[in-house]
C-alpha cells in the first residue's frame, strides 16, 4: 500500500490531488485540514488547524511498516490580505507564516523523524510558488514564506545527500524532497487576488486578465501533472522547479 499525507484537502489542488490518488486502490490518503470534504474507503481525515502551532507539535504520523511508498504533500497555503507592508494586520502576518512555512517545516521534521528507519520510498513534496522567487507588491508575507519554504527544501535535500555519503545509508533509505510551483491555478486564492484594491496591488489587472482570458489552470489538471511528475522521482533533476519545466 502507498500512503499519502496531504494538507489542505478540503478544496483546490489538495482535494483534486487526493481524488486522483484515490482512483488507485493501492493508495491510501490521509487528509490534513480543518474541514473534510472527501468520503472514500481509502481516505482518512485528520482534523488539524494549521495555524495552531501547539496542535502541529502534537501531530504524529502513523507507522506504516509494510508501506511501499510514503509521501507528505505540503499543499495548504494562504495569501491573506493583499496590502503593502505598513498596512498589514499583525495577527494575519503570524497566521500566514504559520500556515505557509512553519506548518510544513514542523510536519517535514516529524515525517523524517518518524520514517527514518522505514524501508519505503519516502518523498516530501512542497507546493511552491513563483512568488517565492519574484517580489510581488502586496504579497510580502506570501512571497517571503514561499521563498523560505524553497530554502528549507534545499537544506533538507542537502542534508539527505550528505547523509547518503555516510555508513548510515546502508541502514536507512533516504528522503527525497521537492518544491514545485503549480503556476496560476483557478482556486479560491485567485478570487481573493481579484478582489484586491488597485491602490494596494499594482498587478490587479493582470490577474483579472488571467481569468477573463482563460489562462488559469484547473486544480484537477494541475494535480494530475504533479502525479505524473512524481511517477518517476528520479527524473526530477532539481529540488526547486515548476510544473511548466516538465511540459
The catalytic residue positions are 142
CA neighbor of 7 nearest in space, from 53, 76, 100: 76
CA angle 116, 60, 145 (to 5 degrees): 85
CA angle 183, 189, 192 (to 5 degrees): 130
CA neighbor of 42 nearest in space, from 21, 12, 61, 11: 21
Sequence-distant (≥ 6) Cβ neighbours of residue 166 within 8 angstroms = none
Cα separation, 160 vs 233, whole angstroms: 15
> Which segments of 75-195 are extended strands (E)?
121-127, 175-181
Is residue 80 within 8 Å of 141, Cβ to Cβ? Answer: yes
Amino acid at each position: 500500500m502507498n500512503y499519502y499525507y496531504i494538507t489542505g484537502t478540503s478544496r483546490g489542488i489538495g482535494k483534486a490531488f487526493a481524488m486522483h490518488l484515490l482512483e488507485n486502490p493501492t493508495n491510501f490518503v490521509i487528509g490534513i485540514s480543518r474541514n473534510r470534504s472527501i468520503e472514500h474507503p481509502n481516505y482518512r481525515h485528520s482534523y488539524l488547524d494549521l495555524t495552531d502551532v501547539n496542535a502541529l507539535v502534537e501531530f504524529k504520523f502513523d507507522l506504516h511498516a509494510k508501506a511501499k511508498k510514503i509521501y507528505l504533500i505540503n499543499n495548504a497555503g494562504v495569501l491573506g490580505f493583499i496590502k503593502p507592508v505598513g498596512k498589514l494586520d499583525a495577527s494575519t502576518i503570524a497566521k500566514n507564516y504559520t500556515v505557509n512555512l512553519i506548518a510544513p517545516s514542523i510536519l517535514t521534521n516529524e515525517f523524517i523523524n518518524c520514517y527514518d528507519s522505514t524501508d519505503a520510498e519516502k518523498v516530501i513534496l512542497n507546493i511552491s510558488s513563483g512568488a517565492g522567487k519574484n517580489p510581488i507588491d502586496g504579497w510580502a508575507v506570501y512571497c517571503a514564506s514561499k521563498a523560505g519554504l524553497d530554502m528549507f527544501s534545499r537544506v533538507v535535500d542537502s542534508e539527505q545527500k550528505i547523509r547518503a555519503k555516510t555508513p548510515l545509508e546502508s541502514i536507512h533509505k533516504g528522503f527525497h524532497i521537492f518544491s514545485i510551483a503549480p503556476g496560476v491555478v483557478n482556486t479560491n486564492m485567485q478570487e481573493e487576488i481579484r478582489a484586491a484594491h488597485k491602490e494596494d496591488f499594482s498587478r490587479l489587472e493582470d490577474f483579472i486578465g488571467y481569468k477573463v482570458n482563460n489562462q488559469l489552470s484547473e486544480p484537477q489538471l494541475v494535480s494530475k501533472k504533479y502525479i505524473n511528475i512524481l511517477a518517476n522521482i528520479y527524473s526530477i533533476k532539481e529540488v526547486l522547479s515548476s510544473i511548466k519545466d516538465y511540459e
